[in-house]
């Protein structure tokens, strides 16, 4: 492919993260330095808005605004969960031609990578030269081809801080509430629920039980673990991912609703939630009063709890995408590869879009303890550098009378 001269298109898709705007800012700042990349357009509301001509000239924005996006949560361009249809592809190509788009960057997860892969492939069949690069993003951390995803570190930090502090509250309120159920997002993988273990310094600290989609929910074993925790510590603190299922594959949340990508909808759109169902199971078994905590999308948009490493890596992924496109590379997603050694180091590579788009990446089973209801040191070592140090709180010495 000869060196392409044309305009740039960048978009954000799917759920937000605290650092998705940093990736976009990285693209804009890097593309402004590449002579063959002319105007830099942002698509409003993803591919859905693009087909309607909803574009903004990012190169014309105040540089201070672009710089400020490095520390601005949510999706500045607006997002979409529109499922691109085959019959939409001619309309997409028409808009690409109309705006002389030759460089296409899309920031998102599995479904987003599928979108950019299909657009790039279709353009090739139509003889239209287009470089398409995916930039990873998802708090779920479930993309193949990359050690982790931008957005995960900050969301994991949110969860760890929430459970650390809610755990203190639960400990001190155990004479009132005997248990707490804290729900995280994570449709098909338990990475985010697992991050709550970073709050744990000793066995008595929350959480006592972590439920993830990687292991089926077995009610009797679970209730035995709850009873054991209450006897040992005076209360039980349970963290559950929203996608926890029974052995037959049915969601514990009782949700049967699916979105446009055939993903199960959890929470309000799908009826109940896994936290409410588990709360009910515990209450009916033991008769205890307890709390439930459902943060929903808050871990995706809290700048005050953002991970410094996450911000830096998100922006770097945007810059790496531009560097790849400048070389004529297409059809890939930017990936992060963890280097071996005692210190945390990342190098940047690529993963084919067609491989990334296929399915979600679950947590490895060897990151869990045998019962599947708690993670082990391998996970802690993996997640700690992404989240950063947590605050230290103090406990009274009740032996001093």
Catalytic residue among 111, 140, 142, 205: 140
Q: Please state, in angstroms and rounded to a whole number, the distance separating the CA atoms of residues 83 and 168.
A: 43
Helix (H, G, I), strand (E, B) or coil at 243: coil
DSSP letter, residue 258:
B
DSSP letter, residue 389:
P
Pair type for strands 131-136 and 332-338 = parallel
Q: Which residues of 53-73 are buried (b: 16+ CB within 10 A; e: fewer)?
A: eebbebbeeeeeebeebbebb
Instruction: For tokens 């009873």, name the residue.
Output: 227
User: Which neighbouring-strand residues pair with 82?
Assistant: none
Helix (H, G, I), strand (E, B) or coil at 331: coil
DSSP letter, residue 202:
S
Say if CB 198 and CB 387 are below 8 A apart.
yes
User: Which neighbouring-strand residues pair with 369?
Assistant: none
Q: Please state, in angstroms and rounded to a whole number, the distance separating the CA atoms of residues 59 and 103.
A: 14
Say if CB 164 and CB 199 are below 8 A apart.
yes
Tell me whether residue 140 is one of the annotated catalytic residues: yes
Helix (H, G, I), strand (E, B) or coil at 36: coil
The sign of the dihedral angle between the CA atoms of 24, 25, 26, 31 is positive
Q: Please state, in angstroms and rounded to a whole number, the distance separating the CA atoms of residues 110 and 353.
A: 9
Closest CA to 181 of 277, 253, 275: 275
Say if CB 328 and CB 3 are below 8 A apart.
yes
Active site residues: 140
């Amino acid at each position: 492919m000869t060196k392409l001269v044309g305009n740039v298109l960048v978009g954000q898709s799917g759920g937000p993260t605290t650092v998705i705007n940093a990736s976009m800012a990285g693209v804009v700042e890097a593309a402004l330095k590449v002579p063959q990349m002319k105007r830099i357009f942002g698509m409003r509301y993803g591919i859905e808005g693009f087909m309607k001509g909803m574009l903004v000239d990012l190169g014309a924005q105040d540089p201070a605004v672009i710089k400020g996006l490095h520390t601005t949560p949510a999706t500045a361009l607006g997002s979409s969960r529109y499922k691109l249809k085959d019959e939409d592809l001619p309309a997409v190509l028409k808009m690409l031609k109309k705006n002389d788009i030759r460089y296409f960057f899309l920031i998102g997860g599995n479904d987003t990578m599928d979108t950019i892969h299909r657009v790039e492939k279709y353009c090739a069949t139509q003889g239209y030269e287009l470089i398409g690069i995916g930039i990873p993003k998802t708090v779920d951390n479930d993309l193949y081809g990359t050690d982790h995803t931008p957005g995960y570190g900050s969301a994991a930090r949110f969860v760890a801080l929430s459970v650390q502090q809610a755990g203190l509250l639960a400990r001190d309120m155990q004479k009132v509430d005997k248990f707490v159920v804290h729900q995280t997002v994570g449709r098909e993988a338990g990475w985010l629920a697992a991050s709550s273990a970073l709050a744990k310094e000793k066995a008595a600290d929350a959480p006592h039980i972590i439920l993830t989609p990687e292991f089926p929910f077995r009610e009797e074993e679970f209730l035995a673990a709850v009873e054991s925790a209450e006897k040992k510590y005076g209360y039980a603190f349970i963290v559950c991912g929203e996608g926890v299922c029974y052995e037959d594959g049915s969601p514990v949340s009782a949700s049967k609703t699916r979105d446009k990508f055939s993903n199960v909808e959890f929470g309000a759109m799908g009826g109940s939630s896994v936290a409410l169902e588990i709360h009910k199971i515990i209450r009916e078994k033991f008769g205890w009063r307890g709390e439930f905590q459902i943060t929903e999308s808050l871990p995706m948009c809290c700048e005050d709890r953002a991970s410094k490493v996450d911000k830096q890596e998100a922006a770097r992924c945007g810059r790496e995408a531009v560097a790849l496109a400048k070389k004529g590379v297409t059809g890939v997603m930017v990936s992060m590869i963890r280097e071996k050694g005692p210190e945390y180091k990342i190098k940047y590579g690529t993963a084919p879009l067609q491989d990334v788009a296929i399915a979600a990446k679950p947590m490895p089973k060897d990151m869990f303890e045998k019962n599947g209801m708690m993670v082990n040191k391998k996970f802690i070592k993996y997640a700690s550098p992404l989240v950063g140090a947590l605050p230290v709180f103090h406990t009274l010495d009740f032996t001093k009378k």
